[in-house]
Amino acid sequence: MNGPSFRVRVEPSLRSIAAETWDACACATPVGTRSSGAKGFGRLENSGEAESKSQRLPLKSEAVESPCEEDDGNPFVTHDFLSSLEESGAAVARTGWLGRHLLVEDETGAVLAAMPAYLKSHSRGEYVFDHGWAEAFERAGGRYYPKLQVAVPFTPVTGPRLLVRRGPSAPAAREALIAGALELVKREEASSLHVTFPTQPEWAYLTGLGFLARNDRQFHWLNQGYRSFDDFLSALSSRKRKMIKRERREALSEGVEILRLSGGDLTEAIWDSFFAFYMDTGSRKWGTPYLNRAFFSIVGGKMRDKIVLVMAKRAGRFIAGALNFLGRRAIYGRYWGMTEPRAFLHFEVCYYQAIEYAIERGLAVVEAGAQGAHKIPRGYRPVTTYSAHYIAHPAFRRAVVDYLQDERTYVAAEAQELSAALPFRSEEAEF
């Protein structure tokens, strides 16, 4: 039985994609839907160019379940967030993020799937590190860049990457999306395709198609139905409970007060103050911060009701701040900084305020950014993150497979060690 026919289109800019069209795809298809087969998947068009010769789908997944979970309102795959990165000049060709966003259209021109994709000339701002791969391939005479990156720039947050509208055509549209991405790798003479921080079901789907599997670790706070911050503390060992109380007390000493700002509170003056904090941290961590002042104004205007800006104030002036975004079930900590160093203020502004907010609003998760084993004694748990990689060169692919086998052994051992360090009373081990 013949399935639907699709066209895959490539757009260099979010400006040419209507927000409602993109956001209709930026939600998930319920797990359990299977492909019924499709035809005409591989027709790939760059916007404004003539149609290319039809190609057949190189990969099939008839027996693979849908990779997407129910939509959790992830704010980072929305048109508002991605277009803010573009409009501000933070993620554009000049900074090494050349837009190659894929859209899957049916015979009527309706968009059924989308993918945020970039042709990269470097590996900065990704948080899944492949610099060593690039160096090894180029030492062997290969050319690693450009590569095709499916990601949200500068945002190591798990979320959907294969954005597929709900409906009976969803599995076939997803296959067309992957086929289009692989065809784009060929067209652009890219070395590889990298899908970073997808959901676990998406990762399983892609690795089932032959993509190489990679894992890493982050630290998330999980709400166990706590009624208050004190209720959360009661779940910790006595020593950790006393430590957190002391840290909060010292962070808020000498007249420090905390404000949570959202909506109309996000004035340009507030963003000026926060940008100073961001620049201080970014300059120390990365040398050149990824984002510019314009980004915060643009995203603050578009997403003001999805933002919670935690600011610390003393003696009439702001001294620290942390930027959070809201989903339906999670609060995501993104950027932070301070201009008046104070003991434990980082923990208060970034971690404890986010935990309190999540408890008050009934949110299930606090994601406080990449890395940081110091989060464990403060109630954050190790959580696996995922990436999937297609390497075009056969010999280079084999070398990466060997590398990933060694890396998985290390990550698994680290996970066991970290799990033994959880601070909860039900756990005997101490960090």
The pLDDT score that the predictor gives to residue 38 is: 40
The CA angle 306-311-315, to the nearest 5 degrees, is: 155
Across the chain, mean pLDDT equals: 88
Q: How far apart are CA 353 and CA 374, in angstroms?
A: 16
- Neighbouring-strand partners of residue 214: 387
Q: How many CA atoms lie within 13 A of 177 on its CB side?
A: 29
**Is the distance from CB of 248 to CB of 289 less than 8 angstroms?**
no
The pLDDT score that the predictor gives to residue 373 is: 84
The pLDDT score that the predictor gives to residue 421 is: 83
Report the largest interatomic distance among the alpha carbons of the chain, rounded to a whole angstrom. Answer: 73
**Which pTM value belongs to this model?**
0.89
Residue span(s) of the chain under CATH 3.40.630.30 come to 7-217+384-417, 224-363
The pLDDT score that the predictor gives to residue 418 is: 83
pLDDT of 276-316, one tens digit each?
A: 999 987 666 656 789 999 999 999 999 999 999 999 999 99
pLDDT of 118-143, one tens digit each?
A: 999 999 999 999 999 999 999 999 99
Q: How far apart are CA 45 and CA 404, in angstroms?
A: 34
For domain 7-217+384-417, the CATH class is alpha beta
Residue 3: pLDDT band (50, 70, 90) is low
Q: Which two tokens stand for residue 426?
A: 């039900």
CATH number of the 224-363 domain: 3.40.630.30
pLDDT of 202-261, one tens digit each?
A: 999 999 999 999 999 999 999 999 999 999 999 999 999 999 999 999 999 999 999 999
Distance of CA 68 to the CA centre of its chain: 15
**What is the pLDDT averaged over residues 98-124?**
97
The pLDDT of residue 72 is above 80 = no
Residue 36: pLDDT band (50, 70, 90) is very low
pLDDT of 350-404, one tens digit each?
A: 999 999 999 999 999 999 887 788 899 999 999 999 999 999 999 999 999 999 9
**What is the pLDDT averaged over residues 263-284?**
91
